[in-house]
Structure 1
Amino acid sequence: MKTWIGGVAAAGIGVAGTAALVGSSFGGPLAQATVAVVLAIAAGFGWPHFLGIPARKTNGTILALAGAAAGISAAAVPGPEFLSWAPAAMALGVMAVTVVQLIRGTGQSHRLESTLGASSGVLLCCLGAGWIATARFTGTGSMLLVAGISTVVALLVGAINWPDTIVAPFAIVFAGLAAPLTALVLTDIAVIPATAAGVLIGAVLAAVRRLNRTRSRPMPRAGLVALALAPVLAVGSIAYFMDKLLLH
């Protein structure tokens, strides 16, 4: 798949995932957790394909289960620390990934790369619980809308088939502009915290776009889904911690 076609497809999947996470929040924590778990499972099973690491099914299962556990716990745990169980899900996932590599035995190919790559996937899948935590912390509006719209803007800018030296600054700037505009029109968040969140979200998504464009081998479909959804999941926890640090 050509790089620019993959970029457009990834942007479309990411926008759809973001819209589902934000829209489902109006149905309550259970509805949003269902969406978050489905996206975490899709990203988890696709991440090993994206990295091209061995033991794809086993690692994918671990990533999906860790992400699902983090999402369910964020919906079920009493507040105000809605991500209190997410670190445990991350730790267990990383431990399971390490055990898989130990079971593979000495001399197997790409053991270190598989451990590090799968561990990063565990973290990304678990960070999706932040969308649920954000919705429960401040309601379905406020930072959730700011993060959602900033993410969509950054993804759409990132779909443009221009060099990274042009697209990356544009993604950061436009996400940074979309956030305060959303805050002023749709929420009661102050401009400066919203702008900071938008700029950070734009930077994260621009970095992931760059990661995609450095690939030399073809992108499997499952890997493309993971590439699209993993940064979207990570944005949830960015929004949650920005909300707690800057607004409360």
Structure 2
Amino acid sequence: MKSWSIGVFGLVALIAIVASTFVSREAMVGVGIAASAAVGIGWPHFLGVPAKKTLAAVIGLAGAGSAVTAAYLPAPGFLEGTPAFIAVGVMAVFVVQLVRGTGQAQRLESTLGCCAGVLLNCLGAGWIAGARFNGVKEMVLVAGLSAAVALMVGIIRWPDRIVAPLGVVMAGLMGPLAGLVFSDIAVLPAALVGVVVGSVLVSFRRMTTLRRGRLNIPAAVGMGVAPVWAVGALVYFIDKLLIY
């Protein structure tokens, strides 16, 4: 698929994630499970490693479990279940590699890459935690708008040396603007959220451009959803540390 399609998938996922936080807890859980499944299925395809179905199940279930616990654990420990699911997911990845046996192809790449996939997928629960934190969803909206700007800049077919700084700057400017228009969030936290979110998203764009060969649909969907889903934890912790 074309590289710009990854950004489109990311935008669709972002809209669903942010919209669900304004609907209900059940909607957040449903979108979280769907996002976790998309990342779980697509990440092994993007890496091009063997045992895709088994590793997809491990990555997807870890992320889904983290999302569900973030939705139902009592305050203030919204993400207390996330480290456990990260640990279980990483151990499951190692077990899969042990079962595959010695001498199998791409064992190291598969292990490291899928452990990273587990981490990214579990961090997405931060969107749910951020929406539940103090019952105020303005930071989720600010982060969502900043991420949308970074994704739209990333769709432009310009060299990375231009798109990367442009995406970070535009996201950093959108944060304070969205904060002033849609909430009473101070300029500094809003700008920090924009810069951090933009930096993560343009970094993943660079990963995509460095990968050789065309991406199939699962890989494109997974790579589009993964960074958008993973920045949820950053949004939550910035909200908690700088605003609360």
| TM-score normalised by structure 2 residue count | 0.98
For each residue in 1:198-242, what CA deviation from the matched residue of structure 2 results, as whole angstroms up to 9, or x when unmatched? 001110001000000001122111000111000001111110011
Counterpart position of 2:23: 27
CA distance in 2, matches of 1:241, 1:138: 13
Among 171, 177, 182, the alignment partner of 1:181 is 177
For each residue in 1:6-61, what CA deviation from the matched residue of structure 2 results, as whole angstroms up to 9, or x when unmatched? 2x211111111111111111122221111011111011111000000110000000
Q: Is the 8 A contact 1:47 1:226 kept in 2?
A: yes
Counterpart position of 2:88: 92
AA paired with 2:85? A
Moved >4 Å (runs of 4+):
none
Compared CA separation, residues 112 and 214, structure 1 to 2 (3 A): same
Q: CA deviation at 1:140?
A: 5.1
Is the aligned partner of 1:46 residue 2:45?
no
For each residue in 1:146-171, what CA deviation from the matched residue of structure 2 results, as whole angstroms up to 9, or x when unmatched? 11101100000000000000000000
Q: Is the 8 A contact 1:135 1:144 kept in 2?
A: yes
AA paired with 1:143? M
1:156-171 alignment runs, 5 A limit: 156-171=152-167
SS at 1:188's partner residue? coil
CA distance in 1, matches of 2:172, 2:24: 28
AA paired with 2:74? P
Aligned residues: 244
Is the aligned partner of 1:240 residue 2:240?
no
SS at 1:27's partner residue? coil
Q: Is the 8 A contact 1:47 1:227 kept in 2?
A: yes
Among 42, 61, 67, the alignment partner of 1:71 is 67
Counterpart position of 2:53: 57
Gaps of 5+ in 1: none
Is the aligned partner of 1:110 residue 2:106?
yes
Q: Is the 8 A contact 1:130 1:237 kept in 2?
A: yes
Counterpart position of 1:126: 122
Is the aligned partner of 1:224 residue 2:220?
yes
Higher mean alpha-carbon deviation, 55-64 vs 139-148, is at: 139-148
CA distance in 2, matches of 1:12, 1:36: 18
After superposition, the CA RMSD in angstroms is: 0.9
AA paired with 2:219? G
Q: CA deviation at 1:88?
A: 0.4
AA paired with 1:106? T
Counterpart position of 1:210: 206
Q: CA deviation at 1:81?
A: 1.7
Q: Is the 8 A contact 2:130 2:137 kept in 1?
A: no
Q: CA deviation at 1:128?
A: 1.1
AA paired with 2:71? A
CA distance in 1, matches of 2:146, 2:77: 25
Q: Is the 8 A contact 2:21 2:137 kept in 1?
A: no
Q: Is the 8 A contact 2:200 2:227 kept in 1?
A: yes
CA distance in 2, matches of 1:145, 1:213: 29
Q: Is the 8 A contact 1:149 1:179 kept in 2?
A: yes
CA distance in 2, matches of 1:16, 1:85: 27
CA distance in 2, matches of 1:156, 1:87: 32
Q: CA deviation at 1:138?
A: 3.7
